[in-house]
A = this chain, B = another copy of it.
């Protein structure tokens, strides 16, 4: 170790706070516009100071994706672990996602949908792969929560978990695409209504009161 501990800790705090600003900036202006120069201007830091933290634009982008993921997990996913398992937890995750899409977490709304729209037509590369991985992880989390709600007896066990997860997520992703265009948050109410309806039709109905005198 060449640096005293205090200096290293300060460096890590600086790095974390740079990354938080970078995620916010990228949620508005896009990941591709996130150059070390642009970030330096926004943070009023020197480009050489930033270069010391991130060697290249690509490294910066990859770290920003990782930082966005950590914030997403902490703010959207973690709090749902306190909620009752099964349908209540799935609903809580969808509600948290909705608040997130409305801009409750990052200034520009959904960091990942923005990155996705930006990178889907780009050639393969580490940044595109990292964006795709976030999409895959989100689908898997939703699928896991649907399967858990089936195990709890809350959701029809005949449904394919990945299919229902896809349907629920479709509403939010389509609403966000429309919102990015016209800026009218009423579209998120449509998504919420759609997900609520879909979950109701997927739910195991409380069994009808047992008739004791059937004949």
Contacts and interface: CB of A to CB of B under 8 A. Distances in A.
Contacts of A30: 121
Interface stretch (A17-25, A35-43, A67-75, A167-175): A167-175
A7 interface: no
Most chain B Cβ neighbours within 10 Å, of A114, A181, A201: A181
A182 to B, nearest CB: 7
Contacts of A117: 117-118, 120-121, 177
Given A174-B173, A174-B174, A201-B201, A166 B194 contact: yes
Contacts of A121: 29-30, 114, 117-118, 180
Contacts of A171: 166-167, 170
Given A117-B120, A193-B163, A194-B163, A170 B174 contact: yes
Contacts of A178: 135
6 contacts: A116-B177, A120-B181, A131-B181, A132-B182, A170-B170, A170-B194
Interface of A: 29-30, 114, 116-121, 131-132, 135, 162-163, 166-167, 169-171, 173-175, 177-178, 180-182, 187, 190-191, 193-194, 197-198, 201
